[in-house]
Amino acid sequence: MDTVFAKQLLFHGSWLVVPAMAWLLWRWRRDRRHRAVLAFLLLGCGVFAWARFVEPQLIQVDHTELRGTGMQARIALVSDIHLGVYKDRRFLERLVDRLDALPVDAVVIAGDLTYEPQRLVLSEAFAPLSALRVPVYAVLGNHDQQAPGPDIDAPLRQALRAHGVRVIEGMAFTDARGIRWAGLGDRWAGKDDPGFLRAAVEPAPAIVVAHNPDSAMDLQPGEAAIVLAGHTHGGQIRIPWLYRKVIPSAHGFDRGEQVAPAAAGPVRVFTTRGVGEVGLPLRLFNPPTIDVLQLRP
């Protein structure tokens, strides 16, 4: 079966939970003998309905202060938008509206902008990003660069560039406010080599944007004031203990601020939980989130 068709079938077929809940409620009112079992099934359906129809559409804004970075900046970090089979342009428009209302110096998109994008017209799907009034910096992720694919690296870069988004993979630069930035490509695609940072004429700690937080393991403390990443979704369906089994990190990254015990010394990492879904079109105890990061010296 075509994987895109299977995911669409799952996505749309999940609406069957609504008549299922109506039937269970009808039975519960009439069947006193089995009310406990029916109530349990009704509760399960209710949790599923929340995780499928409500929580994935929420957009939460979290504020975090990060001291000791050596720089002063206010950044909105998002990741894993995953436009495609589960998320569409309307969600991106809502996300951009929330981002544009925030008093930040820059917006950072830490990869995985797509998910099963075969039916997307990229230039149209990402057009809402052109409404952002501050600089937007991005890297691509494994779903954009063929792991699992398809590889839409070149056309996605073109679409983002057309809407004012600067893809910063493999480069380091200093912006107009004196903030140094750098970007790493996706780790699973083998594009996160930080060698260019060591070749810089005037090396200085940068805000390093990476999709996979595991990329921080190859950095040195003097190269990164902090690494901003995504990829993990914070487990997406955050059932205690179980969610850790599905987080795609080889080094235990989850969400929020952590320290990478890199070979040359510790590197600070902040991982956002993302705003989209893969696999199952569900989020539980883990809503789509914009992280507003206040960096301080």
The string of DSSP letters for 115-133 reads ESGGG--HHHHTGGGGG--
- 16 is written with which tokens? 């069957």
Q: Express as a percent the part of the chain with pLDDT over 90.
A: 89
Q: Are residues 20 and 120 in the same domain?
A: no
**139-194 confidence digits (pLDDT tens):** 999 999 877 767 899 999 999 999 999 999 999 999 999 999 999 999 999 999 99
Q: Do residues 119 and 21 both lie within one domain?
A: no
Higher per-residue pLDDT: 151 or 212: 212
Range of the domain at 231: 59-295
- Do residues 217 and 83 share a domain? yes
Residue 114 structure tokens: 């797509």
3 — pLDDT class (breaks 50, 70, 90)? confident
pTM for the full model?
0.95
Q: How many domains does the chain have?
A: 2
The residue-averaged pLDDT of 209-221 equals: 96
Residue 292 predicted with pLDDT over 90: yes
Q: What is the pLDDT of residue 201?
A: 63
**What is the residue-averaged pLDDT of the chain?**
95
Q: Three-state SS for 209?
A: strand
**CATH number of residue 81's parent domain:** 3.60.21
Residue (of 262, 288, 256, 284) closest to 274 by Cα position = 288
- Model pLDDT for residues 45-86, shown as the tens digit of each residue: 999 999 999 999 999 999 999 999 999 999 999 999 999 999
Same domain, 77 and 153: yes
Q: Are residues 186 and 242 in the same domain?
A: yes
The DSSP output letter for 266 is E
| Whether residue 1 has pLDDT greater than 60 | no
- Reference 49, options 14, 6, 23; nearest CA is 14
* 36, 100: one domain: no
Which of 14, 30, 55 terminates a domain? The answer is 55
Residues 47 and 170 in one domain: no
Tens digit of pLDDT for each residue in 25-35? 999 999 989 99
Q: In terms of domains, do 105 and 49 share one?
A: no
pLDDT at 20 over 80: yes
Q: How far apart are CA 278 and CA 236, in angstroms?
A: 9
Residue 271 to residue 211: CA distance in whole angstroms: 9
Nearest to 192 by CA among 111, 257, 78, 136: 111
Question: Which pLDDT does position 147 carry in this prediction?
Answer: 74
CB 129 within 8 A of CB 164: yes
Statement to judge: residues 20 and 113 lie in one domain: no
Whether 27 and 69 share a structural domain: no
Task: Check whether residue 50 and residue 189 sit in a common domain.
Answer: no
Of the residues 19, 39, 55, the one at which a domain ends: 55
List the structure tokens of 275. 């705003």
Residues 36 and 134 both lie in one domain:
no
